[in-house]
Amino acid sequence: MMILEFLRDDHRKCDSAFADTESAVAKGDLATAREAFERFNSETLHHFAMEEEILFPAFEQRSGMQGGPTQVMRMEHEQVRGLLERMRTALDNGDSNGFLGMAESMMILLQQHNMKEEQMLYPACDHTLQGDASLVIDEMKAL
């Protein structure tokens, strides 16, 4: 398996939890929405941890590239984390309209972010980490 495949599949898992959350909020089922949001939040933060703690350092070390595309991804992760907290607050306050407004922003942010990773960064990681890609994937799975 390649890094691109592994992390693209993980993006889809996060996307599914996000869609479940949005759907439950739109139906007015806030209890289900809160459960789905916790899954989305947890899976997204785990995805970020796999990248920030394992993939990005391995790529940076091997490529010698510091502050390039991985720095941009880290900054975008921070934007997502902030939006996650605001979305949680909206759910906690029963503010469905506020949540759905932020969900639109989240969807756009994640689509753009994931596209950059899947089209540029992950292929670069697969190329740069050729002989060690499976080891990196194993480390990410173990996290």
The pLDDT, as a whole number, for residue 68 is 87
pLDDT digit string, tens, across residues 31-45: 999 999 999 999 999
CATH code of 91's domain: 1.20.120.520
Instruction: Tell me the three-class secondary structure of the chain, residue by residue.
Output: CCHHHHHHHHHHHHHHHHHHHHHHHHCCCHHHHHHHHHHHHHHHHHHHHHHHHHHHHHHHHHHCCCCCHHHHHHHHHHHHHHHHHHHHHHHHCCCHHHHHHHHHHHHHHHHHHHHHHHHHHHHHHHHHCHHHHHHHHHHHHHC
Whether pTM exceeds 0.85: yes
Q: Note down the domain range covering 92.
A: 3-142
Number of domains in the chain: 1
Is the pLDDT at 2 greater than 90, yes or no?
yes
In terms of phi and psi (left: phi > 0; alpha: psi -120 to 50; beta: otherwise), the region of 66 is beta
pLDDT digit string, tens, across residues 83-94: 999 999 999 999
pLDDT digit string, tens, across residues 26-83: 999 999 999 999 999 999 999 999 999 999 999 999 999 887 899 999 999 999 999 9
